[in-house]
Structure 1
């Protein structure tokens, strides 16, 4: 994607996010861009119908998640984004995924980099991030470009609670 298009897409998708979450995601994007990476928000808010398709296709495991959050009037207030590497959207490098996880964690968020990874191997991810070994040989989880908050659960978000 051309740089102007990537930035326009990110700006548009950021508007689908709950404001405090948006600020955190902007920090992640800024941190990655500072390192000359090109993060692109592929998905932010998602309709329940689109979420059902994601579940059917194996890209999601729950029928209501952080991507589906709305205000009481139905306005999108997503609490999740899928932040792809625009230079390699279908096959992001471990370098990108580890830097994404580090930037997300610095902003008070988490990625799916550890999801599905055996407990005995998660420490390798932690060491790689702590030592900034972006090319470490580590096992990557099943949804490593997904970003979400740590201070609210899906059930709480569905009930109207939002991250501070």
Structure 2
């Protein structure tokens, strides 16, 4: 059963989190180009796969329970980083993308600043700053997942033998 749960956990991570990280990273470039069709598609990918991505921690916790490692420090850190990544996605990336989509033609230069669309876009600045902020927030999201992946592979201090 453990091998099945671990397989489902890894598959869910690849199938769900992978597309979100790629789409979130591509979105700022679509904003810079003013490619609203690409922006809509990338935002939809992020939203839909974020929901599908909820399966990753579910299968992960089930796997950890079957391995008896729920109290291990590497797993607790991974859980905390996963929660932080989910918060960055839900409170930064997705609202920032929605604000960029709602801003309309102001993205192509000289228009009003994108602000008030969530933490990813707050802080003022011109329309040229919005893609940079979106890129930064997406980068933080991606970095958090990279650290979680490394922790899952290395498992520092784990007695399960890595």
Q: Which has the larger radius of gyration?
A: 2
Structure with the largest fraction of strand = 1
Structure with the largest fraction of helix = 2
Same fold (TM over 0.5): no
TM-score by length of 1: 0.30
TM-score by length of 2: 0.30
